[in-house]
Amino acid sequence: MSVRILPGTRGGVGESVRRVDGVPKVKGAFQFASDLWAEGMLWGYTLRSPHPHARIRAVEISAALTDPGVHAVLLAADVPGKKTYGLEFSDQPVLAWDRVRYAGEPVAVLAAADLETARRATERIRVDYDVLPAVTDMGEALRPDAPRVHDFGNVLRHIRIEHGDPGAPADVWVEGYYETGMQDQASLGPEAGLAIPADDGGVDLYVATQWLHVDRMQIAPCLNLPEEKVRLYLAGVGGAFGAREDVSMQVHACLLALRTRRPVKMVYSREESFYGHVHRHPSRIWMRHGARRDGTLVNVYARILMDGGAYASSSAAVIGNASTFATGPYEVPNALIEGTCVYTNNPPCGAMRGFGAVQVCFAYEAQMDKLARALGMDPVEIRLKNALGTGSVLPTGQVITGSAPVREVIRRCAAIPLPEEPAASRGGDPCSYPGGAGNVSRGEGLRRGMGFAIGFKNIAYSEGFDDSAEVRVKLFAGPAGPVAEVHSAAAEVGQGIHTVLTQIVRTGLGVEHVLLHPPDTQVGSAGSTSASRQTMMSGGAAQLACAVVREELCARVRRRAEAEGRALRGEITLEGGAVLAGNAPVGRVEEFLEMPIECVRTYHHRRTQPLDARGQGDVHVALAFAAQRAVVEVDEELGLVRVVQVATAQDVGRAINPQNVAGQIEGGTAQGLGLALMEEIQLQDGQIRNASFTDYLIPTILDMPPVISVLVEEPEPGVPFGAKGVGEPSTVVSTAAIVAALRDATGRELNRVPVRPDDLIGLSPPVASPGPPPSPDVPGPEPIPKRAGLAAGQADLMRGD
Amino acid sequence: MEVLLPRTLEEALEIKAARPEAVPIAGGTDLMVELNFDRRRPALMVDVSRLPELREWRRENGTVFLGAGVTFTRIIRELPEFVPLVQASRTVGSPQIRNRGTVGGNLGTASPAGDALPVLAAYDAEIVLAAAGGRRRALPWHQFLVGPKRHAAAPDELILGARWGIVRGPGSFSKVGPRNAMVIAVASLCLVMDEGARAFRVALGSVGPTILRAPEAEAFAVRALADAGAWDDPRASLSPPALQEFGERVAAAARPIDDVRGTAAYRRHACAVLARRALAWAFEDRRSTSRSS
Ligand SMILES: Cc1cc2nc3c(=O)[nH]c(=O)nc-3n(C[C@H](O)[C@H](O)[C@H](O)COP(=O)(O)OP(=O)(O)OC[C@H]3O[C@@H](n4cnc5c(N)ncnc54)[C@H](O)[C@@H]3O)c2cc1C
């Protein structure tokens, strides 16, 4: 029996519905995690290591405890359960014992009556450190005599992908070396949460996170509590971008709450936030591209080195992405790709929007431009010539079965009109020149440049992960008609999943009034709000659940008709709260809802495989593509930049909410622009030198150009509505596109991002290649994945769900 | 922490006399950052933001007095004829910061990156200080700014404001930073052309321990203009090589360092470019005002 939903329901799929959280956020009424408050609550504070590598000889806490405002000071010995946690490998101490491995690592936590008391008391904790030699350079980390960050060695993961004949000859070769700096997610909301001890010995934690259930999976064993006694609720999230995938203050706040039997709130300051979450991996990338004279790619050699910092976080998956995407969205018959992620005594790196795909895109797109120049080809033409499509084979041997409108995004992007050439004098407004509000130009030394880049990104988790999502949908009679309630643990981090869920439920049930149950762990895992996956995964679960609810409603309609001896003719349809059979009204929806209809469904994406020893496997679920063209103006004397326009076409499968998609593209572009021009955590001997928004610069509105976006809608088969995720592809490509435009404007090599003014005026030379590092696949320490195996991380996850 | 809220200048000065450790707070846009970062924990603060004497500005026979409590937003609105000062004020932070931040606070912080400071230096301003009992003194800007984040006011004094002689002639302020707004200067420059005194004054920010002037370059420009007979000819300019040399001489006055915001080499280079442009703009602006008047 089928039920058709007529397209009459307002606010459904495909409409630019206003965000459900939009008005409160604009008005400042939205409660973020840092606004949490409870009667009698204490404030937690963290003591962090000042050293990148040291042995802890002793910790003396008595002086901190003398203040009557201090309620507890906890050390590693006070952790009642497991002493470590981690997303993929449990290698990160809740509180360091014995050794600290990065500057900023938590050593003690303290709870006090107020934040100031907590801060001051923390200063009175005395830690006796025996400073050890540190390894803070990713290249050095591979040397056999380098200090070991962990006893098993410094190789976090090594991947080798052999494809076709890596010795295949080519007519033309281009070579390049590229570096990317450590970027910060720079969410405006710092890490924050409130833990409240419960009467059953458990704890309720309100926290800003990306994935409630994976937090709980890591928290509960540390607290030595069963998972059902650790209940998580999503607090208002002020941005995430990957930084909230890892646990930060979660375990600490719970430990303090359980110890003091008082609610404990923790909020990081901006400075602490730089130490308290993972960053984007800095990278060093060597590439060699070989092509035939006609521009056809023949062979690619890529060697990628990434700095994972002191703990694993999601590094194994990041280097997996970087390696499998190293050749870009191009058909490459032969390739040898080696990716290595190392441990160092730098702050840990992990997830950030683009997740490994950003760094390699910067490299492979520079290579494609080099190749085009060597062959005298147009940059757009060479990309069209080699573009992937459905049926193409990736270096991992994976055959693309889904939609892959790569040529379409290239063509549509290239067709967007260029910005007009500006008038010589721009009405005297300095903001229309590079340097902006600084008033440094009246148009002197201006050069325009244009750059083009394409890139791609996987949707959802790869390499055999089953990151399923559960949703509960309930349809009941409200005072003013039928109401649908949707309960999902999916974290709204600003990207719009809550709005998307209400749209999907409206379309699924033909009911306009949709309520969102606050996200918590009382419903099953939604998986992470990352990897551009929530619309596909939680959206998919909502769609499945709605279908079941609809079937039940329909069955009730038929049962009642039978009981009343009426025959229903035609298909049963729901429209604007009414039930129709054929064209005949049968009644209002709520008349069939004396008992609510409720259904829980879980959506699984198609199965993928781990990489085998030769780097082969069907590893990615689905791929999304984007093309961007950037136009920049460079003040060639001062090395300052104004990005004039970004034009982009993005493969979105299907836009559930076009305005929201445009918003994601603009935000993602801003983050890519930041990496291109200014964003870098500057490290010196493992210490962050710019842990503040004074010196870690992110783009302002005066740095952002207008973004003209075209959505290419070629539905992905087998996924709900054919919708692909849209959060990341723009970030993947915009750094590459902007730097390509800078190269065009200046004629300089610019092989490192962020590009500095010095680089643009030739005051500093391009970074020199130290040469590809030795492949660590030689006798020596076993990389972690060989010891534990990605599958081990997966097993943990499955158990956790 | 104690915070006192005096209503008059005299009350405030008496507080400072009795308790010189009291830290003045005006807009708080520097001080509150220090407190938040836990770099300072003053036991006593005295709020000077409501003192009427500090919030005024006025002309007095050929000079202008700018009260320490005048905000950057007010400067932009109320003092449009002081072009470099307005340009500098526009580059400060964001609208919120300009609404709170004051010239007195900029002087009190005495950072080499304070954007109002190169302008005051190029105006050859003096800083007016006040102490209880009607004691007043004025220090030339270079005696007031004595080092990075160090100034010469005594512990019992408050900054009353700045005073300088009104100059006839064009001028500009520019600031370089790796972001197009809301950025701390990597290098900044103020140039003032004093047609009455036939002088140039150039001041540099963020390229030394404190604000620097470039006397050599100033003298060079004066000479070059005299040689070209251009002081009396509002349409005259200097040749590109002369502009170039001026830039290089200004850069030679810089004493920059490498830090997290930029390299010394870039800072010095930027000084040369900004100086060359500022001088060219001065001639451009002189030409256009002479045409319009
Ligand atoms: C986001 C942000 C952006 C910024 N951007 C810029 C910028 O672009 N350019 C720039 O120059 N600055 C910038 N600043 C710094 C700051 O805004 C300026 O230095 C401003 O001029 C400080 O003025 P205030 O009134 O807020 O000073 P306060 O913070 O109140 O005081 C600063 C110092 O001056 C002392 N003080 C204040 N008034 C007196 C007085 N009457 N007598 C004696 N001492 C006094 C105080 O004790 C304190 O030491 C920025 C700050 C922030 C937070």
Q: Which of A572, A603, A634 is the last residue of a domain?
A: A603
The reply to whether A84 and A206 lie within a common domain is yes
User: Is the Cβ pair A640, B176 closer than 8 Å?
Assistant: yes
The least confident of A718-722, B24-28, B189-193, B265-269 is A718-722
Q: What average pLDDT does range A668-680 have in this prediction?
A: 98
Reply yes or no on whether the pLDDT at A781 is more than 60: no
Burial pattern B90-125, b for ≥16 Cβ within 10 A else e, equals bbbbeeebbebbbbbbbbbbbbbbbbbbbbbbbbbb
Q: Are strands A640-651 and A707-712 parallel, antiparallel or unpaired?
A: parallel
Cis link prior to A106 (omega < 30° from 0)? no
Q: Which of A603, A621, A645 is the last residue of a domain?
A: A603
Quote the minimal CA–CA distance from B108 to chain A in Å: 19
At residue A778, the pLDDT reads 40
What is the whole-number distance in angstroms between the Cα of residue B101 and the centre of ligand 1? Answer: 5
Q: Which residues contact A786 (CB under 8 A, 6 or more apart)?
A: none
Query: Residues of B near A (CB-CB distance < 8 A)?
Result: 33, 36-38, 87, 90-91, 172-186, 260-263, 265-266, 269-270, 273-274, 277, 281, 284
Helices A534-563 and A497-509 meet at what angle, rounded to 10?
A: 30
Asked if residues A729 and A650 have their Cβ atoms less than 8 Å apart, the reply is yes
CA B147 to each of CA A522, B109, B113, B163: distance values in angstroms, whole numbers, following the listed order: 61, 11, 12, 21
At residue A6, the pLDDT reads 46
The reply to whether A726 and A620 lie within a common domain is yes
The DSSP output letter for A722 is G
Asked if residues A483 and A477 have their Cβ atoms less than 8 Å apart, the reply is yes
Contacts of A699 in chain B (CB under 8 A): 179
DSSP, collapsed to helix, strand or coil, labels residue A261 as coil
Q: Give kind and range of the element (H or E) at residue A720.
A: none
The reply to whether A578 and A440 lie within a common domain is no
Length, in residues, of chain B: 293
Domain count, chain A: 3
User: Is the Cβ pair A437, B38 closer than 8 Å?
Assistant: no
The least confident of A760-774, B51-65, B159-173, B261-275 is A760-774
Percent of chain A with pLDDT strictly greater than 90: 90
DSSP, collapsed to helix, strand or coil, labels residue B67 as strand
Pick from B74, B73, B87: nearest CA to B190: B87
The reply to whether A458 and A572 lie within a common domain is no
Report CA A679 to chain centroid distance, whole Å: 17
Query: Tens digits of per-residue pLDDT, A103-136?
Result: 999 999 999 999 999 999 999 999 999 999 999 9
Q: Does A424 touch chain B (CB under 8 A)?
A: no
Ligand 1 pocket mutation, candidates B47, B87, B97, criterion most atoms within 8 A of CB = B97
Q: Identify the band that residue A776 occupies on the pLDDT scale cut at 50, 70 and 90.
A: confident
Q: Of ligand 1's atoms, which has the minimum distance to the CA of residue B23?
A: 47
Q: Distance between CA A528 and CA A542 in Å, rounded?
A: 16
Query: Tens digits of per-residue pLDDT, A72-115?
Result: 999 999 999 999 999 988 999 999 999 999 999 999 999 999 99
What is the whole-number distance in angstroms between the Cα of residue A577 and the centre of ligand 1? Answer: 60
Contacts of B180 in chain A (CB under 8 A): 431, 434-438, 640, 642, 700, 702-703
Reply yes or no on whether the pLDDT at A178 is more than 90: yes
What is the whole-number distance in angstroms between the Cα of residue A172 and the centre of ligand 1? Answer: 59
Q: Identify the band that residue A777 occupies on the pLDDT scale cut at 50, 70 and 90.
A: low
Q: What DSSP assignment string belongs to A278-313?
A: -BPPPEEEEEEEEE-TTS-EEEEEEEEEEE--SS-T
Domain assignment of residue A796, yes or no? no
CATH number of the domain bearing residue A103: 3.90.1170.50
Q: Distance between CA A572 and CA A578 in Å, rounded?
A: 10
CA A595 to each of CA A515, A524, A572, B113, B254: distance values in angstroms, whole numbers, following the listed order: 18, 23, 20, 69, 80
The reply to whether A598 and A666 lie within a common domain is no
User: Is the Cβ pair A697, B183 closer than 8 Å?
Assistant: yes
The sign of the dihedral angle between the CA atoms of B255, B260, B266, B270 is negative
Asked if residues A787 and A156 have their Cβ atoms less than 8 Å apart, the reply is no
At residue A780, the pLDDT reads 40
The reply to whether A614 and A557 lie within a common domain is no
CB-closest option in B36, B265, B277 to A763: B265
Domain assignment of residue A765, yes or no? no
At residue A779, the pLDDT reads 40
What φ, ψ does residue A507 adopt, rounded to 5°? -65, -35
Contacts of A119 in chain B (CB under 8 A): 38
* Domains in chain B with CATH codes: 2-165 (3.30.465.10), 172-288 (3.30.390.50)
- Residue A766 buriedness (CB in 10 A; 0-12 / 13-18 / 19+): middle
Report CA B293 to chain centroid distance, whole Å: 29
CB-closest option in A437, A442, A682 to B281: A442
Q: Which residue of A has its CA nearest to B172?
A: A439
CB-closest option in B172, B176, B179 to A703: B179
The reply to whether A525 and A592 lie within a common domain is yes
At residue B292, the pLDDT reads 56
CATH number of the domain bearing residue A709: 3.30.365.10
Domain assignment of residue A97, yes or no? yes
What φ, ψ does residue B276 adopt, rounded to 5°? -60, -45
Q: Distance between CA A298 and CA A657 in Å, rounded?
A: 40
Q: Distance between CA A747 and CA A219 in Å, rounded?
A: 52
Q: Pick the residue whose CA is nearest to atom 37 on ligand 1.
A: B105
Q: Distance between CA A452 and CA B103 in Å, rounded?
A: 46
Contacts of B281 in chain A (CB under 8 A): 442
Could you tell me the pTM of the whole model? Answer: 0.96
User: Is the Cβ pair B260, A690 closer than 8 Å?
Assistant: yes
Strand-pair partners of A707: A646
Domain assignment of residue A142, yes or no? no
Domain assignment of residue A333, yes or no? yes
The sign of the dihedral angle between the CA atoms of A379, A385, A386, A387 is positive
- HSE at residue B110, side-chain half, CA atoms within 13 A, is 18
The reply to whether A107 and A233 lie within a common domain is yes
Length, in residues, of chain A: 801
The sign of the dihedral angle between the CA atoms of A611, A616, A617, A623 is positive
Contacts of A675 in chain B (CB under 8 A): none
The reply to whether A492 and A442 lie within a common domain is no
What φ, ψ does residue B77 adopt, rounded to 5°? -80, -40
Q: Does A441 touch chain B (CB under 8 A)?
A: yes
Asked if residues A472 and A510 have their Cβ atoms less than 8 Å apart, the reply is no
- Residue B256 buriedness (CB in 10 A; 0-12 / 13-18 / 19+): buried
In terms of residue numbers, what domain contains A650?
283-462+610-760
The reply to whether A509 and A537 lie within a common domain is yes
At residue A577, the pLDDT reads 80
Residue A611: other Cβ atoms inside 10 A: 23
Q: Does A435 touch chain B (CB under 8 A)?
A: yes
Ligand 1 pocket mutation, candidates B15, B39, B47, B92, criterion most atoms within 8 A of CB = B92
Q: Pick the residue whose CA is nearest to atom 21 on ligand 1.
A: B106
What φ, ψ does residue A286 adopt, rounded to 5°? -110, 140
- The distance between the two most distant Cα atoms of chain A, rounded to a whole number of Å, is 89
Domain assignment of residue A770, yes or no? no
Q: Which of A568, A603, A638 is the last residue of a domain?
A: A603
Domain assignment of residue A516, yes or no? yes
Domain assignment of residue A576, yes or no? yes
Q: Distance between CA A181 and CA A349 in Å, rounded?
A: 12
The reply to whether A424 and A519 lie within a common domain is no
> What ipTM does this complex have?
0.96
Q: Identify the band that residue A1 occupies on the pLDDT scale cut at 50, 70 and 90.
A: very low
The reply to whether A538 and A406 lie within a common domain is no
Q: Which residues contact A621 (CB under 8 A, 6 or more apart)?
A: A458, A459, A460, A461, A462, A605, A606, A608
